[in-house]
C-alpha cells in the first residue's frame, strides 16, 4: 500500500513534465519543494501548495509532475497530475492523481567515452514542445537551421559537446549525430535536456554543454553503449 512508504509530512520534490514519445520527461521550469498533506487512496494524494520566498506558487490543474519522495526507506518516484486545488484552514492544498506506480529511485551512472564527433543541433521551439506535450511525438522540421558542434564525450545517459554559442540550462534541444561501427552507420536524432553550461577557461567564446537524453529508447541506448565498447576495444588494440 502507498502508506507503507509515504505519509502526511513526507517531503517531496515536484519536477514539471512534458510528454515525449509517449513518456513524460523533465521540462524547463524549476523544481518545487512540498510536503504530503494527506493520503486519500493508493492513487490519490493531497500535498501542500509549494512556496518560494514566502509566496505561494500557484500550480495549475491538469499539469503533470515527476514526484520524488524522501522517505526513511530511501528515495521513491512516480508521475502525477493535479486534479484539484483548494484552501482549508488557510492551508492551500493540491489534489494529485498518481499516474504511475511508486518505485524505488536509483540514479544510473554511465561510463563516459572521450571522443571527437561532429554533431548538429538546435533549440526546440515552444510550439514544438507544446506539440510534444499534446501528442507525445516529435517530427523535427528539416528546414530549420542547425548549429555545428563537437561531442567530446558520450555515454548511454547523455553527452558533452562544445560549440561557439551557448544554450540556457534546462533548455530542450534536438541533437543529430552519426555513430559508425564495424557493421553499421546510423544517424541518431535525440532530444536532450541541457544540464550545465560553462565557458571554456582557455577558449573565450567556446562553451561546453552537458546534456541528458530525455527521449531515448532502450534499443538506442544499448546501441550507443555497444559503440563505446567497440571503440574502447579498438583503442586498447592500438
Do 82 and 124 sit in the same domain of this protein? no
pLDDT tens, position by position, 71-123: 888 888 888 999 999 998 889 999 999 988 888 876 556 788 999 999 999 99
Do 26 and 73 sit in the same domain of this protein? yes
Say if CB 68 and CB 75 are below 8 A apart.
yes
Strand extents, DSSP E, the chain = 11-20, 23-26, 32-41, 44-48, 51-52, 55-56, 64-71, 74-88, 91-98, 103-104, 113-123, 147-154, 158-163, 172-181, 184-199, 207-213
Q: Give the residue with greater pLDDT, 181 vs 180.
A: 180
CATH number, domain at 99?
2.30.110.10
Count how many domains the chain has. Answer: 2
pLDDT at 21 over 90: no
CATH number, domain at 208?
2.40.10.220
Do 68 and 120 sit in the same domain of this protein? no
Do 122 and 37 sit in the same domain of this protein? no
Do 128 and 230 sit in the same domain of this protein? yes
Among 46, 80, 104, give the residue marking a domain's end: 104
Structural domain that includes position 199 = 113-237
Do 125 and 53 sit in the same domain of this protein? no
Do 119 and 232 sit in the same domain of this protein? yes
Do 146 and 88 sit in the same domain of this protein? no
Measured at the CA of 233, the angle between CA 176 and CA 117, to 5 degrees, comes to 20
Among 104, 128, 155, give the residue marking a domain's end: 104
pLDDT at 201 over 80: yes
Q: Give the residue with greater pLDDT, 185 vs 106.
A: 185
Quote the CA–CA distance of 122 and 191 in Å, as a whole number: 10
Do 6 and 100 sit in the same domain of this protein? yes
- Residue count of the chain: 238
Do 117 and 230 sit in the same domain of this protein? yes
Question: What average pLDDT does range 150-160 have in this prediction?
Answer: 94
Do 209 and 135 sit in the same domain of this protein? yes
Q: What is the mean pLDDT of the chain?
A: 85
Among 40, 72, 104, give the residue marking a domain's end: 104
**For position 31, what pLDDT does the model report?**
79
Per-residue confidence at 26, pLDDT binned at 50, 70, 90?
Answer: very low
Do 134 and 202 sit in the same domain of this protein? yes
Amino acid at each position: 500500500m502507498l502508506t507503507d512508504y509515504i505519509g502526511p509530512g513526507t517531503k517531496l520534490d515536484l519536477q514539471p513534465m512534458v510528454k515525449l514519445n509517449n513518456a513524460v520527461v523533465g521540462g524547463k521550469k524549476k523544481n518545487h519543494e512540498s510536503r504530503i498533506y494527506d493520503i486519500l487512496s493508493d492513487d490519490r494524494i493531497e500535498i501542500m501548495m509549494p512556496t518560494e520566498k514566502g509566496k505561494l506558487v500557484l500550480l495549475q490543474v491538469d499539469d503533470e509532475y515527476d514526484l520524488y519522495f524522501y522517505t526513511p526507506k530511501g528515495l521513491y518516484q512516480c508521475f502525477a497530475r493535479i486534479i484539484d486545488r483548494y484552501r482549508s484552514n488557510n492551508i492551500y492544498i493540491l489534489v494529485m492523481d498518481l499516474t504511475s506506480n511508486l518505485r524505488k529511485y536509483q540514479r544510473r551512472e554511465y561510463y563516459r567515452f572521450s571522443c571527437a564527433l561532429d554533431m548538429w543541433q538546435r533549440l526546440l521551439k515552444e510550439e514544438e514542445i507544446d506539440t510534444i506535450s499534446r501528442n507525445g511525438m516529435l517530427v523535427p522540421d528539416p528546414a530549420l537551421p542547425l548549429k555545428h558542434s563537437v561531442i567530446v564525450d558520450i555515454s548511454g545517459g547523455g553527452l558533452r559537446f562544445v560549440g561557439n554559442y551557448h544554450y540556457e540550462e534546462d533548455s530542450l534541444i534536438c541533437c543529430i549525430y552519426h555513430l559508425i561501427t564495424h557493421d553499421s552507420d546510423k544517424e541518431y536524432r535525440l532530444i536532450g535536456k541541457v544540464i550545465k553550461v560553462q565557458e571554456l577557461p582557455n577558449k573565450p567564446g567556446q562553451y561546453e554543454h552537458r546534456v541528458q537524453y530525455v527521449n531515448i529508447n532502450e534499443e538506442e541506448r544499448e546501441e550507443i553503449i555497444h559503440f563505446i565498447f567497440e571503440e574502447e576495444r579498438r583503442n586498447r588494440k592500438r
